[in-house]
Chains A and B, each alone.
Chain A
């Protein structure tokens, strides 16, 4: 089956630093999604990428859909304490009447004030 390799697994950074995380896949996806999950809560969609090469920003977040359609990265600039959480990449594939997500294993971000 499809697998996503997400790295790094965890990060400890100082407040104000920039953060970068990425996902690679053995399969092609037509859409990449990035979610953030706080403890005990559901994942919240941050950015959706629909085209190979697409670069999309959402405030301090920037994500890119790789040209090969097998990878994506997420950057967070000038990190703040509320950025703490687990970030998941997800590749979207089309099934029978629905879309299915394949998740990466997540990147746990800790921000030191």
Chain B
């Protein structure tokens, strides 16, 4: 199983809403990532979790709050977003150190902020 799943597929929210994006993998990977991707651009790294601990925060605004409840799940909590936050949000996972080091991506959540 080399699948990373993400829910929801699409999300429309207002600037005062609170919502969450969810990501799940069952490959035994101990590193999980959130990326933001704008149209016609490459993915941009937001957060990295390694062994369920936040290891990298690429200066992301606090209106984005990541959470890693266990080794298979990764959430991204959204609050008071701006229209410019509309993008495709991608989750990925990989081995943290040993073994394969490729990152496998989920299908993404298309977020629209009104």
Chain A positions within 8 Å of B, measured between CB atoms, are 31, 33, 35, 40-45, 48, 88, 92, 95-101, 103-106
Residue ID in chain A nearest B48 by CB atoms: A98
A100 and B48 contact, CB distance less than 8 A: yes
B94 and A106 contact, CB distance less than 8 A: no
Q: How many residues of B contact A (CB 8 A)?
A: 31
- Docked complex: B65-89 residues within 8 A CB-CB of A: 88
List the B side residues contacting A88 at CB < 8 Å. Answer: 42
A72 to B31 alpha-carbon distance, docked (Å): 25
B31 and A104 contact, CB distance less than 8 A: no
A104 to B43 alpha-carbon distance, docked (Å): 9
List the A side residues contacting B96 at CB < 8 Å. Answer: 97-98
A97 and B101 contact, CB distance less than 8 A: no
A98 to B55 alpha-carbon distance, docked (Å): 8
Residue ID in chain A nearest B32 by CB atoms: A98
B51 and A99 contact, CB distance less than 8 A: no
A100 and B51 contact, CB distance less than 8 A: no
Question: Closest 6 interchain pairs by CB?
Answer: A97-B50, A103-B42, A42-B105, A98-B31, A98-B50, A98-B48
List the A side residues contacting B49 at CB < 8 Å. Answer: 98
- For the complex formed, measure the closest distance between the CB of A75 and the CB atoms of chain B, giving whole angstroms: 20
B103 and A106 contact, CB distance less than 8 A: no
A45 to B56 alpha-carbon distance, docked (Å): 23
- For the complex formed, measure the closest distance between the CB of B14 and the CB atoms of chain A, giving whole angstroms: 22
List the A side residues contacting B45 at CB < 8 Å. Answer: 100-101
Select the residue from B4, B43, B56, B96 with max chain A CB neighbours within 10 A. Answer: B43
Residue ID in chain B nearest A4 by CB atoms: B42
B103 and A101 contact, CB distance less than 8 A: yes
- For the complex formed, measure the closest distance between the CB of B41 and the CB atoms of chain A, giving whole angstroms: 7
A97 and B107 contact, CB distance less than 8 A: no
A44 to B106 alpha-carbon distance, docked (Å): 9
Interface pairs (8), CB distance under 8 Å: A40-B88, A41-B107, A88-B42, A97-B55, A99-B31, A101-B43, A101-B103, A106-B40
